[in-house]
Structure 1
C-alpha cells in the first residue's frame, strides 16, 4: 500500500526505476500516458519497428517532442529524456535499463525479446500474454536461472485475477473459481477482423479514433484471448481448466457466487478450483444486468459455520446456500495500470503474477474448413481461434499451441471446429519459440 510513496522516494533520490519498452502500440501508449506523471520511473528508451508511429503515439497521449528527443540510449540515461529507435537488442542490453517491458503482441518475437533480456540481467514485464499462455512456465524457469524476475503485466486481466486469488488465499479462504468476464455468443467464434466492430460495441469511427487494431480486438471477441488469459491465470494460480474448453456461463457480477460453483451444487463448474469466464450476454443475445464483461473476479468458500455466519452478519452477497462469496473488479484499465507492475518489480522484487505450473494450454482450432496449403494467421485472424485445454492432455494429443499458429502452412485439410496438431503444419523447428515450448513439454 505504499508503492506511490516509494516511487516518490526514488524520484527525490534521483534514482528512478529505469525502464525500456519494446512496442508502442495501444497497450504501450496507455502506459506512456501514465509514466509522464511518475517521476520515480524513467523510460530510457523505446524500440519499435516504426519509430515514427511510436513518436506519433507519444504526441497523441501528451508527450512533448523535447521529452523524447534523446539522440541515443546513453544520452537518455544521462539527460533524463527518452530515446526512440528500432533496435530492440541495443535496448535490452543497455546497462542503464533495469526492466524491459515486452509489449509487441507477437508471441514468437516476445520470447526472443524476453530470453535476450534475461541473458542481459534484465527483469521482464510481459504484456504479450499470448507468449505466456503457451510457454510462461518455461520463461519463468529461464528467468529464475538468470537471477531476474519475469512477470505478467498488471492492468491486463490475468494479473488482476491473480491479485484477487492471492487476496482470498492470504485471507485464509479456499478459492473455488477465478477468471474474467467477456461478451460472448457461440457464433462469435467465427468472427474475423472484418466483422469485429459489428459485435464489439463501438463504431468503426471510434475504433479508428482510438487507433485500435481490429485483429487484436477480434482475438478477444472470437474467444481466443479469453482462452489465452484463462490459461495464464491457471498456470499462475494452479487452478484447473475445463477439460473441453471454456463454457462461458451467463451471469453478472452479483451472480458469480451462484454460477461459479460445482454443477453438483447448482453451478457451472466440473469441480472446485477452476478458471472460467462469465458471459455478459444471455444465449439469446440479451445483456446481463450489472455485467462483469470488462472485469475480473474470484469466488471463495466459507468452509465453517462461523465464516458463513460472518458473511451473513456483514451482508456479504453469497450464493443461495450462503457458502460461497465473490470479490470482483468490474473494470480493468489495461496499460493505464502497468506502472503497478513496474513499481512492484522495481521496488519490491515481486512479480504481479507468474507461471508456477503447467495447468492450461491454448490450442489452435479451425475457424472454418481449411485446405492444405493455407497459411494460418494466428489469434484474432481469419483461420483459427483458440481453445483452452488441460496442458497434459494437449501435449499428449500433439495439439498446436495458438502461439505457434502464426504464418505456418497447413499440410492437411482441417474441418471447422477441429484442433490442429503439430503434424498438420509445416512448423519451423529452428525457432527459439518452438525449442522453448518443446523444452517445457519435457518438464510437464
Structure 2
C-alpha cells in the first residue's frame, strides 16, 4: 500500500525507475497513457518491430512528439525522454534500464525476450500470458537464480486473482476456488474468426469502423484465453484445473459461494482448490443476473463457527449454510494498472503473481475433424481451442501446448475435441522452445 511513497522517495533522490517496454499495441498503449503521469516513472525505451506504429500509439495516448524524440537510450536517460527502436536487444543491453515489460502477445518472442532480460539482470513484467503459460515456471526459476523478479502484470486478470488468493491465505480462510467472469456459453466453443462478431452482436459497419483483431476476439470467445489465464493462475497459486478442463459454471454475484463450493456440500466443484470461470451466460444463452463478466473472484470457507457468524454479520455474500463466502473485484483496467507490477518488482523485489510451479497447462484441442497434412492456426483461429488441464495429464500425454499450435502441420488425423499431442504434428521450428518445455517437466508439481 506504499508503492507511491517509495517511488516518491526515489524520485526525490533523482533516481527514477527506468523501464523498457516491448510492444506498443493495445496493452502497451494503455501502459504509456498512464506512464507520463507518474512522477519518477521513466519509460526510457520502447521496442516495436513497427516503429511508425509505436509512434502513432504514443501520439494517440497524448504524448507530445518531443517526449519520444530521443536519438538513443543514453539521450533518453539524460533528458528524461523516450527512445523508440525496432530492436528489443537495445533495451537488454542498456544498463540503466531496470525492468522490462513484455507486451508483444507473441508467445515465442515473449519467452526469448524474457530470457534475454533475465540474462541481462533485469526484472521482467510479463504481460504476455501466452508466453507465461508456455514456459512461465521455467522463466520464474531462471529469474530466481539470477536474483531478479519475474512477475505477472497487474491490471490483467491473473495478477488480480493472485492478489485475491493472497488475501484469502493472509486472512486465515480456506481457499476453495478462484477464477474470473467471462461472456461464455457452450456454442461459443466452436467460434471462428469468421463467426466471432455474431457473438458480440456487432454489425458489419461497426466492425469495419473499429480496430478489431478477429483472432484475438475469437480467443476471448471460444474459451482459449480463459484456459491460458486460468492455467497461469494455477501455476502461480498452487490451485488445480478440473480434470476435464474448465466447466464455465454460470454464476452471478449472489451465486458465487453456492456454485463454487464442493459438490459434497451442494456446489459444482469436483473438489476444493480449483480454478474455473463464472460464465455470464446461461447454457441457453440468457444473460446471468448480476454477472461478473469483467471481474475476478475467490470463494473460501470459514475455519470455525465464530468466523462463519462474523462474515455473515458484516454483509459478505455467503452460501446457504453460511460457511462459504466470496470476495471479488468487479473490474480490471489492463495496462492502466501495470505500473503496480513495475514498482513492486523494482522497489520491493516482489512479483504481483508469478508462475512458480508447473501445475497446469493450456493444451491445443481440435475444433473439428481434421486430416493429416492440415495446418493448425493457433490461438483464436479456425482449428483449435485451448483446454486447461492439470500439468501431470498434459505431460503424460505429451499434449501440444496452445502456444506452439500456430503454423504447425498435422501428420495424422484428429477428431473434434481431441487433445492434440506432439506425436500428431510435424515439429520443424522453435526447437529451443520445445526443449524448454521438456526441461520444464522436471519441476512438475502435483
TM-score (ref. length: structure 2): 0.97
Q: CA deviation at 1:145?
A: 1.6
2:251 is equivalent to residue 251 of structure 1:
yes
Q: CA deviation at 1:254?
A: 2.3
SS at match of 1:30: helix
Q: CA deviation at 1:6?
A: 2.1
- Give the structure 2 partner of residue 154 of structure 1: 154
- Give the structure 2 partner of residue 269 of structure 1: 269
Q: CA deviation at 1:204?
A: 5.7
SS at match of 1:363: strand
- Residue 177 to residue 198, structure 1, CA distance change in 2 (3 Å): same
- Give the structure 1 partner of residue 170 of structure 2: 170
Q: How many equivalent pairs are there?
A: 444
2:357 is equivalent to residue 357 of structure 1:
yes
Residue 9 of structure 1 contacts residue 40 of structure 1 at CA under 8 Å; is this kept in 2?
no
Residue 111 of structure 1 contacts residue 432 of structure 1 at CA under 8 Å; is this kept in 2?
no
- Give the structure 2 partner of residue 93 of structure 1: 93
Cα distance in 2 for residues equivalent to 1:22 and 1:371: 38
Q: CA deviation at 1:143?
A: 0.8
Cα distance in 2 for residues equivalent to 1:178 and 1:432: 33
Q: CA deviation at 1:350?
A: 0.4
2:54 is equivalent to residue 51 of structure 1:
no
2:306 is equivalent to residue 306 of structure 1:
yes
Q: Deviations over 1:42-67 (max 9, x none)?
A: 00111111010111111111111111
Q: Which runs of 5+ in 2 are unaligned?
A: none
Q: CA deviation at 1:190?
A: 1.2
Residue 189 of structure 1 contacts residue 221 of structure 1 at CA under 8 Å; is this kept in 2?
yes
Q: After superposing the two structures, state which structure 1 stretch, 30-39 or 193-202, moved more.
A: 193-202
SS at match of 2:151: strand
Cα distance in 2 for residues equivalent to 1:243 and 1:273: 12
Q: Deviations over 1:149-200 (max 9, x none)?
A: 1000011110000000001100111101001111111111111222222213
- Residue 210 to residue 34, structure 1, CA distance change in 2 (3 Å): farther
- Give the structure 2 partner of residue 71 of structure 1: 71
Q: CA deviation at 1:326?
A: 0.7
2:34 is equivalent to residue 34 of structure 1:
yes
Cα distance in 2 for residues equivalent to 1:63 and 1:188: 39
- Give the structure 1 partner of residue 408 of structure 2: 408
- Residue 430 to residue 233, structure 1, CA distance change in 2 (3 Å): closer
2:389 is equivalent to residue 389 of structure 1:
yes
Residue 148 of structure 2 contacts residue 349 of structure 2 at CA under 8 Å; is this kept in 1?
no
Q: Which runs of 5+ in 1 are unaligned?
A: none
Q: CA deviation at 1:442?
A: 2.7
2:141 is equivalent to residue 141 of structure 1:
yes
Q: CA deviation at 1:135?
A: 1.9
Q: CA deviation at 1:97?
A: 0.5
Q: After superposing the two structures, state which structure 1 stretch, 404-413 or 168-177, moved more.
A: 404-413
Residue 151 of structure 2 contacts residue 353 of structure 2 at CA under 8 Å; is this kept in 1?
yes
Q: After superposing the two structures, state which structure 1 stretch, 126-135 or 207-216, moved more.
A: 207-216
Residue 357 of structure 2 contacts residue 443 of structure 2 at CA under 8 Å; is this kept in 1?
no
Q: CA deviation at 1:430?
A: 5.3
Q: After superposing the two structures, state which structure 1 stretch, 208-217 or 180-189, moved more.
A: 208-217
Cα distance in 1 for residues equivalent to 2:254 and 2:348: 34
Residue 112 of structure 1 contacts residue 432 of structure 1 at CA under 8 Å; is this kept in 2?
no
Q: Deviations over 1:5-39 (max 9, x none)?
A: 22222223221111001111011111111111012
- Give the structure 2 partner of residue 125 of structure 1: 125
Residue 108 of structure 1 contacts residue 433 of structure 1 at CA under 8 Å; is this kept in 2?
yes
Q: After superposing the two structures, state which structure 1 stretch, 408-417 or 244-253, moved more.
A: 408-417
The within-5 A match list for 1:203-214 is 211-214=211-214
Cα distance in 1 for residues equivalent to 2:231 and 2:427: 23
Cα distance in 2 for residues equivalent to 1:256 and 1:358: 27
Q: Deviations over 1:377-421 (max 9, x none)?
A: 211111111001110011101110111112211111211111110
- Give the structure 1 partner of residue 282 of structure 2: 282
Residue 358 of structure 2 contacts residue 443 of structure 2 at CA under 8 Å; is this kept in 1?
no
TM-score (ref. length: structure 1): 0.97
Cα distance in 1 for residues equivalent to 2:316 and 2:430: 54
- Give the structure 1 partner of residue 7 of structure 2: 7
Q: Deviations over 1:322-381 (max 9, x none)?
A: 000011011111111111111111111100001122221111001122222222121111
Q: Deviations over 1:128-159 (max 9, x none)?
A: 10111122111101111211110000111100
- Alpha-carbon RMSD across the aligned residues, in angstroms, is 1.4
- Give the structure 2 partner of residue 229 of structure 1: 229
Q: CA deviation at 1:433?
A: 1.6
Cα distance in 2 for residues equivalent to 1:204 and 1:45: 38
- Residue 262 to residue 367, structure 1, CA distance change in 2 (3 Å): same
- Give the structure 2 partner of residue 440 of structure 1: 440
